[in-house]
Structure 1
């Protein structure tokens, strides 16, 4: 996979993503950072959408469901143009990685080349509700370790984009991943700046076995406690929900 630009109607989002490096980081750690995929201006515009009600299908207060503290809103279709185009542009190179992973894990699922084709599979299975979302955290809030699994059709990679600036808008609130491979467990804190995206494993990923071959390890993600300020994040999930 060659480096490439992602363009939207709002202009270039990111120039020269080195997808081979992204794939290598995902293989090694289960996550990869795309630095500066959005500009500060784009981040501010997206964060401001949180106060609107007309563009969202639902609001979730996390404490009511045992998810942690904070809240998030799922966008309704049609998505904001910036997120729609970004979701489509990121899907194709990530599908290539996802298909390779499934072959390594001997999972008999291969993802189509385009997001439209994949969403058609989701919709025919009754998964019709959009899953891109925006999250809002204040002081004392956090997100429990979890996996975003919404139905039979699950895309194994997800993208979160930090819209706020650490150290200026908030303190704490680090993106955290854990890996569970039986007796072997690992935690990974992924540092992000405003406009950075992290691509990460939704459920399982392949790793080399100690005696050869490939084994599956389970991944979870969350956000540590916000010590002060307010943190906004956009989440791009590629499968729709039931």
Structure 2
């Protein structure tokens, strides 16, 4: 079994190990939090080296690593295909989730405090996933997506059950402008008593993008309110685009 496909042992450190933890820690998390507050999404540093991105992309052809395949056109989710990894995940996927969670957690708790909500998320990812499983959300949610020319992803939210972590991360596994054109990552925010606001981001290969799963707090004259946000992908013009999606709650 190659290093890329080696599953992580159940007793592994909760904060992540290997080079991925160092890359996550190298982000300016104060700046990330500020950008999330302003736009609902923020670019992260390069989390996967080019060879790591290539190896994860190649896993798409190994059906034994996945629990489910979704044809987006069939379900009217857009056009393209994605697969849910089985747990335990390949090592980079697992270690990135473990490394990211402690940095995302303070942002999530701050958001819920602003909205007057009780933050349910414990200090470790293991405890949080244990809560998900106890509530019947036991299905793994790390996703590998593949888009060909003409494919796109409709605006949506990855909720999967009553227990939801409010932030998630996507990582582009290809070179924009070389392996594909188009395929920008989209965020559309429904603003209170105003027209919706959209943003489009072209992710460099290996870089992460963190964004809100469901909504985010926005300040108004009456205090804080929740602005619903949906995400998607614009049509790929040429080539092929692969994306790794890290969701921090499991599915019912």
TM-score by length of 1: 0.94
1:74 equivalent in alignment to 2:56: no
Alignment RMSD: 1.5
Asked whether the equivalents of residues 9 and 82 of structure 1 are also in contact (C-alpha less than 8 Å), the reply is no
Q: How far apart in 2 are the matches of 1:93 and 1:11?
A: 11
Aligned partner (choices 41, 53, 74) of residue 31 of structure 1: 41
Deviations 1:2-25 (A, max 9, x none): xxx974277854562111111111
- Displacement of 1:186: 0.3
Q: How far apart in 2 are the matches of 1:124 and 1:103?
A: 25
- Displacement of 1:212: 4.3
- Aligned match of 1:222: 232
Q: How far apart in 2 are the matches of 1:9 and 1:31?
A: 24
Q: How far apart in 2 are the matches of 1:201 and 1:41?
A: 28
Of stretches 135-144 and 36-45 in structure 1, the one that deviates more from structure 2 is 36-45
1:203 equivalent in alignment to 2:214: yes
Asked whether the equivalents of residues 214 and 228 of structure 2 are also in contact (C-alpha less than 8 Å), the reply is yes
Aligned partner (choices 21, 42, 51) of residue 41 of structure 1: 51
Aligned partner (choices 1, 5, 19) of residue 29 of structure 2: 19
- Aligned match of 1:100: 110
Can you give the 5+ residue segments of structure 1 that lack an aligned partner in the other structure?
A: none
Aligned partner (choices 134, 148, 165) of residue 155 of structure 1: 165
**Runs ≥4 residues deviating over 3 A:** 9-15
- Displacement of 1:108: 1.9
Q: How far apart in 2 are the matches of 1:188 and 1:10?
A: 28
SS at match of 1:35: strand
Over 3 Å counting, the alpha-carbon distance change for 1:65 and 1:216 in structure 2 is: same
Question: Aligned pair count?
Answer: 237
Q: How far apart in 2 are the matches of 1:139 and 1:44?
A: 19
- Aligned match of 2:203: 192
Asked whether the equivalents of residues 13 and 39 of structure 1 are also in contact (C-alpha less than 8 Å), the reply is no
Q: How far apart in 2 are the matches of 1:48 and 1:11?
A: 23
Q: Larger % of strand: which?
A: 1
1:126 equivalent in alignment to 2:139: no
TM-score by length of 2: 0.90
Over 3 Å counting, the alpha-carbon distance change for 1:11 and 1:157 in structure 2 is: closer
Can you give the 5+ residue segments of structure 2 that lack an aligned partner in the other structure?
A: 1-14
Of stretches 5-14 and 221-230 in structure 1, the one that deviates more from structure 2 is 5-14
